[in-house]
Amino acid sequence: MKHCDILIIGAGISGAVLAERYANLGKKVLIVEKRDHIAGNCYDFMDANNILVSKYGAHLFHTNFEEVWEYVNRFSNWYDWEHKVIARVGDKTVPIPVNITTVNTLFGTSISNKAEMAEWLEANRVAFEKPSNGEEAVLNRVGVELYEKMFKHYTKKQWDKYPAELDASVLERIPVRQDYDDRYFSDKYQALPKGGYTQLFENMLSHENIEVCLDTDFFDVRDTIQGYEKLFYTGPVDRYFEFKHSLVEKLEYRSINFVTEMHDVEFYQENSVVNYPGTEVDFTRIIEYKHFGNQISDRTTVVKEFTVDEGEPYYPVPNPRNQEIYSKYREEAEKLTDVHFVGRLANYKYFNMDQAFKNALELFESLEPTMTEIPTTLKTAV
């Protein structure tokens, strides 16, 4: 039998934030984690080429939330990193998000300023007052040709759905630029943790009040844990309720098959991430990890990402059908007192790392309103 005040299922962002906050409040926290490591999908490690790689895909931190930026800086030093992505479109290589260079390269135009780019977009876009799905969202911004070349098939590979079958918000994650800005994100803070994400999580969880049980499935051990005041569950919401509302139609998730290749060359590609939005290959993108933080190695490691149905759930699939199924689980979840569903899988929401930090911090503040000023043990990162 194990005893704790606060029981947390999952050692990803949401679980680690709540563990850290409650531990500093003097509560005994137990984290039960199914995997053999902490840090959730942010988990990274040094590989055989001595390159820091992420097990579950590249994680680029970016935020406009001051409170989140302040919070993550308590547990790691960070270096500035403005992420850029390029896409191979036929025999051309272009920046994504779409900017002036993208259009000039693909269509042989000679746009050179914002006004000309705005004019090109206006002439090509198919206007929708309120785009109701991903296809309308892209057409509304960039028109048919760019939709076909850069979004339609990438999305089909990523989601096994065409953009028309997904919420507009999925495709609206990617902006369109009227200038030469080739950064993937526009946020005020764009950075990576020195030493990696796993070390950041180790710093968050290194507290005498926190115990982490790895390799442990909560549903196998739930009867052996006692005395807790609150349970925070960060796993898939349907699993908690034994899939009771999924008997006819399943709540969908997408998983990724990460295929790692090691090459005896200094560099495999010219950029950290190269997207393949066409049908000529089955993977969506190739990540070359040594670019992040300009790591030095004679060899290189690349990972091809094939998105698949089966496997660990990484992405909820935002569309009206899934939202309807999820709403049944949410109703059940809301009925439970002292069980809190938090994070991407438990809330069935496709959100970024900073939003995950923010949601967990806000949940803590709402539950412990007088305790928000509590200090962390580790003020300065190691």
Say whether residue 277 binds ligand UDP (CB under 6 A). Answer: yes
Say whether residue 292 binds ligand UDP (CB under 6 A). Answer: no
DSSP E strand boundaries for 23-73: 29-32, 44-46, 52-54, 61-63
Strand order of the β-sheet with 253-263 is 92-96, 85-89, 273-275, 285-288, 300-308, 253-263, 315-316
Q: Which is nearer to ligand UDP, 60 or 363 (CB)?
A: 60
Say whether residue 87 binds ligand UDP (CB under 6 A). Answer: yes
Say whether residue 16 binds ligand UDP (CB under 6 A). Answer: no
- Alpha carbon 149 to its chain centroid, in Å, reads 24
Question: Considering only residues 110-169, where is the footprint of ligand UDP by CB under 6 A?
Answer: 150-151, 154-155, 158
Residues contacting residue 259 through CB under 8 Å, at least 6 positions apart: 283, 303, 304, 305, 306
Q: Which is nearer to ligand UDP, 41 or 234 (CB)?
A: 41
Q: Which is nearer to ligand UDP, 173 or 321 (CB)?
A: 173
Say whether residue 174 binds ligand UDP (CB under 6 A). Answer: yes
| Nearest-approach distance from CB 151 to ligand UDP, in angstroms | 4
| Nearest-approach distance from CB 133 to ligand UDP, in angstroms | 11
Q: Which is nearer to ligand UDP, 150 or 302 (CB)?
A: 150
For residue 61, which of 311, 382, 293 has the smallest C-alpha distance?
A: 293
Say whether residue 253 binds ligand UDP (CB under 6 A). Answer: no
Place of tokens 């057409």: 139
Q: Which is nearer to ligand UDP, 275 or 322 (CB)?
A: 275
Q: How many whole angstroms separate alpha carbon 112 and alpha carbon 115?
A: 9
Place of tokens 């309103």: 369
| Nearest-approach distance from CB 152 to ligand UDP, in angstroms | 7
| Nearest-approach distance from CB 200 to ligand UDP, in angstroms | 20
Residues contacting residue 163 through CB under 8 Å, at least 6 positions apart: 133, 134, 135, 137, 138, 147, 151, 152, 155, 170, 171
Alpha helices in 144-254 (DSSP H): 144-146, 153-159, 168-171, 197-205, 218-221, 237-240
| Nearest-approach distance from CB 68 to ligand UDP, in angstroms | 18
Residue pair 291/303 in contact by the 8 Å Cβ criterion: no
Say whether residue 171 binds ligand UDP (CB under 6 A). Answer: yes
Kind of pairing between the strands at 2-3 and 225-226: parallel
Question: Considering only residues 183-242, where is the footprint of ligand UDP by CB under 6 A?
Answer: none
Q: Which is nearer to ligand UDP, 9 or 96 (CB)?
A: 96
| Nearest-approach distance from CB 366 to ligand UDP, in angstroms | 27
List contacts with ligand UDP (CB under 6 A): 87, 96, 150-151, 154-155, 158, 170-171, 173-174, 275, 277
